[in-house]
Amino acid sequence: MSVDLDKYFARIGWDGGRAPTLDTLRSLQHAHVLGIPFENIDVVVGTVPSLDLTDLEAKLVAGSRGGYCFEQNTLFADVLEQLGYGVTRYTGRVRVGARPGEIRPRTHLVLGIEVPGGDGPAAEPTAGPRGGGRYLVDVGFGSTDALLEPLPMIPGLVREGRGRRHRLVLEEADGPAPVWVLQARSGDTWTELVAFTLDAAPLPDIGVANWHVSTHPRSPFRRLFVQRTHADGHLALDGTTLTRTARDGTVTVEQVDGPEALRELLESEFGITPPPGVRPER
């Protein structure tokens, strides 16, 4: 089973051409990020999110819901494969907030995308054998530092996309595979977002990572996280704390008081119709 492309495009408000070009990829990624919110409500209410494409279509496309990285990037990967792109799935380690030297489990999913017909980074500097001609795509990170456009997989190349600056750097690892680290520029600082290697992640391994994130008692996703990127700003709900970030960087913070206020907020500002049992927890 594959996702119904017409229904998916209607969900994200996209009506561009379907040829698998770089311009199409850029447009689709941006429309997806703006169209489908990041949320972990299923985990909070005690359900392991399904990665079956039928279930993902029912939830993220037909339903007024969003999802987290495994759901979002699994859905987007199927869409891109139907359009004719080459897709490789990588599992990564989130580094935001990690202590120096801390090794976290592979609990994030990103995509390596190849544009067919040579419509890749032809004008980019030569990358060599370890990543040139491929783009990093991630529609499931959710934060104000997340990618809004494909990033050429060329180490050290700084790319600005829709007001956000990113680059990939290579680290020499103890093992045979170099570690790629996605970084975002914030002011004068490069912040590490996620680290990954170029060994393709088979679907069973992605399923195990999804199960771990949603069931481990110390998983950060046992607390409510909801985020939505808009053309003019960003909304982030962490437990009971709602943070609004305007396009000019202005930040306002408020508290959500009670389950009724939470439900109203999710429906009116995030576009989510939550299942029963969702409560704001600090």
Q: Which residues pair with 238 in a beta bridge?
A: 225, 241
Answer yes or no: 108 catalytic.
yes
Which among 30, 69, 145, 234 is annotated as catalytic? 69
Which among 30, 32, 108, 166 is annotated as catalytic? 108
Answer yes or no: 69 catalytic.
yes
User: Exposed e or buried b for every residue in 150-177, given b needs 16+ CB within 10 A?
Assistant: bbbbbbebebeeeebebbbeeeeeeeee
Distances in Å between the alpha carbon of 217 and those of 48, 79, 142? 13, 33, 22
Answer yes or no: 42 catalytic.
no
User: What backbone phi and psi angles, to 5 degrees, belong to 160?
Assistant: -100, 125
Q: Coil, strand, or helix at residue 191? A: strand
Q: How far apart are CA 135 and CA 21, in angstroms?
A: 12
| Secondary element (H or E) of residue 195 | strand 189-196
Nearest to 239 by CA among 217, 257, 252: 257
Which among 30, 42, 78, 138 is annotated as catalytic? 138
Q: Coil, strand, or helix at residue 108? A: strand
Kindly state the tokens that stand for 205. Answer: 């391994």
| Residue pair 248/229 in contact by the 8 Å Cβ criterion | no
Kindly state the tokens that stand for 128. Answer: 């060599």
The letter for the amino acid at 121 is: P
Query: Residue 185 class from Cβ within 10 Å (0-12 exposed, 13-18 middle, 19+ buried)?
Result: middle
Catalytic positions are 69, 108, 138
